[in-house]
Amino acid sequence: MVNEHRRRNLGYFFDDAVLRLPDKVAIIDLFDGLERCSTYRALDARMDAVARMLARLGVGAGERVAMLVGNRTEFVELFFGAMRMGAIPLPLNTRLASGTLRDIIAQAACALAVVDPSCHGDAISIARDAPLRHRLLLGQASDGFLAFEDEMGKPAAAVAPPALAEDAQAFQPYTSGSTGRPKGAIMTHRGMLWYVDYNQRYWPASESERCTSAASDLTWLAASEEAATRVVWASRAPVTIALADAEPALESARSISVERDLT
């Protein structure tokens, strides 16, 4: 039954890749000009650690976790790791105005937020003003915030994949289309897994392929289901994704994704 729970949970989307090619590079992260590589095995372990951390901090299944995070490996770890314990990640578009972001976090009744100060000038104040039980910070210290890596390193009990209803929500992006204020959209585990399988069936990726993700791809596309689709689709082969956190780094990411032997 545990395997069935994993199969129905978008957070475990690359179980097959971990079994087949655990040491293949999944992500090359060029955030802040420093190259970090994560294999499928390491990424899987980090996602499990996110699930344990959230459970230890008292986040329950069905509660929302706000993510104001840039185009970096931690976005992927948090996004799918939260799903593994039944929480609903709420990825925030880093291009939105501060007031809009504050309203979204409050309206969604988020229990916890993880913020990346490098992705938005008001990231810390946005989280500090929000009615949250916990606030986690990436990359630096600040009063009223827990350090993300410190919390990830604390001992915590293993979290079993929860049983999910047929229409269980996987994540909650906010989109306004072309006009209006952003509104929450309910994206389900079942619907997203079907969508990814559909894409792989008609536009299949192979293990030898590479893809790049520019500065806006995860953070701006967090306003739609495409952020999840792109990462999950890539893992089906599995391929390697090169992340660039700023436009000048994009050419480096493209070069890495094309030229480097990552098998």
Q: What is the chain's mean pLDDT, rounded?
A: 84
199 pLDDT exceeds 90?
no
Fold of 2-259: Rossmann fold (3.40.50)
**pTM here?**
0.87
* Residue 20, CA atoms < 13 Å, CB-side half-sphere: 12
pLDDT digits (tens, 9 = 90+) for 33-73: 888 999 999 999 999 999 999 999 999 999 999 999 988 89
Amino acid at 13: F
Token look-up 């990830």 returns 152
Can you give the pLDDT at residue 203?
77
Distance CA 186, CA 180 (A): 18
pLDDT in tens, 148-160: 999 999 999 999 9
* CA-based nearest residue to 249, from 219, 221, 215: 215
Q: Which residue has the higher pLDDT, 103 or 226?
A: 103
For the ranges 38-42, 43-47, 190-194, 258-262, which has the lowest average pLDDT?
Answer: 258-262
Give the orientation angle of helix 189-202 with respect to helix 226-235, to 10 degrees: 60
Asked if the model's pLDDT at residue 263 lies above 70, the reply is: no
211-229 residue pLDDT tens: 666 544 444 445 444 555 5
Does residue 101 have a pLDDT over 50? yes
> By the 8 A CB rule, do 168 and 62 touch?
no
CA distance 231 to 164: 22
**Nearest Cα to Cα of residue 231 among 241, 245, 221:** 241
* DSSP structural state of residue 241: E
Whether the pLDDT of residue 200 is over 90: the answer is: no
